[in-house]
């Protein structure tokens, strides 16, 4: 090997070693086959590795995390899309347990007024461990409607409504619902939650909100709120006269798309901007800004409730999908938090929104080192909390002219992300500016 070849080899080795920091190449691994795979493949300078190849970035499912995280050595720059005990917030029973503890601590340390700011989740009991406490509460309000949910399932699986203790006795005895007994080896953990009987309706239909929150650190807490999101509607007009119609009471897309009259062209979603415009036209700007401020409170308080229990790791980040239900008084209720919110699109519009979301998630995580770390906005993400509340620097049309709402959050507002990214980020090597 001559001297010029040696120099070339040396330069190549140095470049490969510093790839993530020189914007040349990010080696990624992805265990999911949906929109995130498309986004990763289209990212300039990112290269997919297979099997046991070395990687810099891993978008994995929670099963991979559970089996491999503790056995993996990660260099300084490596990033992975879950915190190792994410379930403290995303498992239904643990979420409520942590919120109750947080509320109790606030009442003890600060007072009832501050603790009352955590009253945003329905009365909930973990079963079978809190069965007797649940029965006591159930008997205080006979005839009320409750909902049963498996603690670790998603997409509406295993959920049912009930008004009689007999339904729970059958469940407690058999370990599951009758039609699922074949697969039941033991009593599965559930939560029994008071059903919100007065949901806010649009065209007579119930809906909930899917909102995206990105956490890049728990110590200190650093959280970003995405401007886009959507409302998921039921396909059947709401009524409490029947509680067995899943298409009426469950808004999960996985449930609704199996409805006989489901139209995949129309779907069952409104974009968050459309919902905000509707509510503003009907109730006025001030009322809607109060509603969105109360949702901000839900995001921050829920993250604070697990801050001391999540194992913080500089390699980890988490994109949470929050499910929020509005009642007829426009009070927001936290239903659950998802660690793996679905990125499978239900329409072309949905696909494009999720692509933007995931692209901006990668922009915030910033494997390429293009940010200063002082940004308050990256694409569609606004920095909501950075070891304390983050205030917006200006007031403009995106906030509908409001001067009373100062938090740096813009859920459902204009998302001019391409213009913002064009101003914020240098182009990738060999890439023209947008």
Asked whether residue 57 falls in the same domain as residue 132, the answer is no
* 178/205 same-domain check: no
Contact 276, 211 (CB under 8 A): no
Dihedral sign computed on CA atoms, order 48, 54, 56, 60:
positive
pLDDT, residue 167, reads: 82
pTM: 0.88
Tell me the backbone φ, ψ of residue 214, rounded to 5 degrees: -110, 125
Last residue of a domain, one of 169, 195, 221: 195
Task: Verify that 134 and 28 share a domain, yes or no.
Answer: no
Residue 374 domain-assigned (yes or no): yes
Neighbours of 2 (CB within 10 A): 7
Half-sphere exposure for 374 (CA within 13 Å, toward CB): 1
User: Domain check: are 73 and 143 in the same one?
Assistant: no
Considering the domain architecture, whether residues 249 and 205 belong to the same structural domain is answered as yes
Q: Which residue, 236, 232, 267, is CA-closest to 249?
A: 236
Asked if residues 210 and 338 have their Cβ atoms less than 8 Å apart, the reply is: no
Q: What's the pLDDT score for residue 89?
A: 96
| Per-residue pLDDT tens digits for 240-298 | 998 988 878 888 777 776 676 766 656 689 999 999 999 999 999 999 999 999 999 99
What's the helix, strand, coil split of the chain in %, to 5? 35, 20, 40
CATH of the domain at 185: 3.30.1490.20
Question: In which residue ranges of the chain is pLDDT below 50?
Answer: 2-23, 176-186, 397-405, 432-434
Three-state DSSP at 140 gives: helix
Tell me whether residue 101 is in a domain.
no
Q: What local confidence, expressed as pLDDT, does residue 26 receive?
A: 96
Specify the DSSP class assigned to residue 199.
B
Q: Do 49 and 183 lie in a common domain?
A: no
Pairing of strands 57-59, 79-80: parallel
**What residue spans of 307-378 are helical by DSSP H?**
348-365
- Here the CATH number for the domain that contains residue 356 is 3.30.470.20
Tell me, yes or no, whether 62 and 143 share the same domain.
no
pLDDT at 185: 39
CA distance 316 to 32: 18
Q: Is 374 exposed, middle or buried (0-12, 13-18, 19+ CB in 10 A)?
A: exposed
Domain count, the chain: 3
DSSP H/E element including 265 = none
Of 157, 175, 195, the last residue of a domain is: 195
At residue 168, the pLDDT reads: 79
* pLDDT score at 197: 96
Answer whether the bond into residue 128 is a cis peptide, omega within 30°: yes
Same domain, 76 and 132: no
The DSSP bridge partners found for residue 407 are 391
| Alpha carbon distances (Å) from 390 to 53, 113, 140, 224, 380 | 40, 22, 42, 10, 16
Q: In this prediction, what percent of the chain has a pLDDT beyond 90?
A: 64
For residue 19, the Cα-to-chain-centroid distance in whole angstroms is: 31
Residue 162 tokens read as 């009930």
Range of the domain at 190: 123-195
52-81 pLDDT, tens digit per residue, is 889 999 999 888 888 888 877 889 999 999
């Amino acid at each position: 090997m001559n001297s010029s070849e040696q120099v070339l080899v040396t330069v190549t080795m140095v470049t490969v070693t510093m790839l993530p920091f020189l914007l040349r190449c990010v080696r990624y691994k992805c265990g999911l086959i949906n929109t995130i795979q498309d986004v990763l493949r289209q990212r300039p300078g990112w290269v997919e590795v297979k099997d046991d190849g070395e990687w810099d970035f891993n978008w994995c499912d929670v099963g991979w995390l559970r089996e491999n995280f503790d056995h993996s050595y990660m260099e300084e720059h490596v990033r992975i899309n879950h915190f190792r005990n994410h379930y403290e917030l995303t498992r239904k029973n643990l979420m409520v347990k942590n919120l109750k503890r947080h509320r109790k601590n606030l009442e003890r340390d600060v007072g009832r007024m501050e603790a009352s700011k955590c009253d945003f989740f329905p009365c909930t009991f973990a079963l079978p461990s809190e069965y007797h406490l649940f029965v006591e509460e159930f008997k205080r309000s006979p005839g009320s409607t409750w909902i049963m949910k498996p603690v670790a399932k998603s997409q509406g699986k295993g959920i049912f409504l009930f008004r009689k203790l007999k339904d729970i006795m059958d469940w407690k005895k058999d370990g599951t619902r009758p039609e699922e007994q074949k697969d039941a080896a033991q009593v599965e953990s559930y939560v029994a939650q008071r059903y919100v009987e007065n949901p806010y309706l649009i065209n007579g239909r119930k809906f909930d909100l899917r909102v995206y929150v990105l956490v890049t650190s728990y110590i200190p807490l650093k959280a970003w709120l995405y401007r886009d999101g959507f409302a998921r509607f039921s396909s059947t007009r709401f009524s409490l006269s029947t509680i067995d119609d899943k298409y009426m009471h469950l808004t999960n897309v996985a449930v609704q798309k199996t409805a006989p009259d489901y139209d995949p062209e129309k779907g069952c979603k409104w974009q968050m901007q459309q919902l905000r415009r509707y509510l503003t036209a009907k109730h006025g700007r001030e009322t809607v800004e109060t509603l969105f401020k109360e949702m901000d409170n839900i995001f921050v308080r829920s993250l604070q409730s697990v801050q001391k229990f999540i194992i913080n790791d500089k390699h980890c980040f988490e994109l949470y999908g929050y499910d929020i239900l509005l009642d007829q008084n426009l009070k927001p209720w936290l239903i659950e938090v998802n660690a793996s919110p679905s990125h499978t699109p239900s329409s072309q519009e949905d696909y494009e929104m999720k692509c933007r979301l995931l692209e901006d998630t990668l922009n915030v995580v910033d494997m390429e080192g293009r940010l200063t770390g002082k940004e308050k906005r990256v694409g569609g993400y606004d920095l909501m909390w950075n070891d304390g509340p983050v205030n917006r620097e200006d007031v403009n049309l995106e906030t509908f002219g409001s001067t009373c709402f100062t938090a740096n959050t813009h859920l459902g507002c204009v998302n001019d992300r391409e213009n913002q990214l064009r101003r914020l980020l240098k182009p990738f090597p060999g890439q023209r500016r947008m």
